[in-house]
Amino acid sequence: MRTQQGVTPANFHIIGHSLGSHIAGYAGKRLIGLGKITALDPAGPYFENTDKRVRLTPEDALFVEVIHSDGTANLKLGLGLAQPLGHVDYYPNGGKDQPECPQTSNKLLSGIFDGLSFSVDGLEQNLGCSHMAAVYFYLDSIRNDACSYEAYKCASAEEFNSGKCLKCDSEKGCNQMGYWSDPKKELGTLYLNTKSTQSNKNSFCKKSFSVELHSNKIEKVVQTRGLFRIQLEGKTSKTLYSIQTLDDSRVTFKPESIETRVVSFDEDINEEISAVNIFFTKTSSLLASWMYDSQWSFKNVYVWSPKTHSQSKYCPTKNVIESGSFVRFTKC
């Protein structure tokens, strides 16, 4: 097409899944000035951390975008890779185990069982669920232009989930995973959360907020650990949005400490938040009865909205949250 018809390589966009991602890279290595490569969960086995000559690299096109959805170690049957390969690398849900797909710890055992029972459908579901998610995300970004898939630059999934990265470059703005990814916007390693590709076939976007929990100091309460959840209330619609987990016994809460988390909602929240409800249930571990308190107190809750680039402060209507109950915080 180039030699006989005079077409310009910069006008071409190659999209590849798995091994096809590296094949697209081979094309770019031989066709200097190729316009764009979209790599959907590039294959990991025999490609991760190998020489640039045998895998996809940013030099293979003017713009190389990558979506990682199954970037686990080969021994654990991850079919993708975690290594950044493009100008922009997107890591939905951490880029490893996708929601409602078999988790890394279960993939090997499930794969062996399905292989022994000759279950092709089982192998595809267990081993290919997260690997195929990148394809579904990209298709969804084409079909649903209202689903923006905004992603945020961050060093790791852990940092993103801790609420440290939910902001975008003030000049370039947020980039969007999928078809509308833009080389003029923020590049590098970008993270976001999505819905499951297994349970919702209409749109996979989520709305993310950063929540700061400022613990109080109250008499005879030393520390606690358990399930903390949050619910937002819209100011205009008075809608109570779905309850989301902030922390499920991951950390020990201490007096006068600050814990920050990212929470992502299935609903399209486009209104001011007037109040938040914080739910608490103390951990039921064997040590919980004497190590952790069955009540806790937050002096303030702060909610950062990336959409409005603003943070709102919420004050408690009651000083103490007893295990198994909640406290309402209103904007103050």
Residues with a known catalytic role: 18, 41, 131
Q: What is the DSSP letter of 208?
A: E
- Residue found under tokens 């819209």: 234
Strands 13-17 and 36-40: parallel
* Separation of alpha carbons 38 and 243, rounded Å: 35
Alpha helices in 144-299 (DSSP H): 157-161, 288-291
Which residues lie below 8 Å from residue 186, measured CB to CB, with a gap of 6+?
Answer: 88, 153, 168, 169, 172, 173, 174, 175
Strands, E assignment, 58-124 = 63-67, 88-92
- Label each residue of the chain as H, E or C: CHHHHCCCHHHCEEEEECHHHHHHHHHHHHCCCCCEEEEECCCCCCCCCCCHHHCCCHHHCCEEEEECCCCCCHHHCCCCCCCCCCCEEEEEHHHCCCCCCCCHHHHHHHHHHHHHCCCHHHHHHHHHHHHHHHHHHHHHHHHCCCCCCEEEECCCHHHHHCCCCCCCCCCCCCEECCCCCCCCCCCEEEEECECCCCCCCCCCECEEEEEEEEECCCCCCCCECEEEEEEEEECCCCCECCCEEEEECCCCECCCCEEEEEEEECCCCCCCEEEEEEEEEECCCCCHHHHCCCEECEEEEEEEECCCCEEEEEEECCCCEECCEEEEEEEC
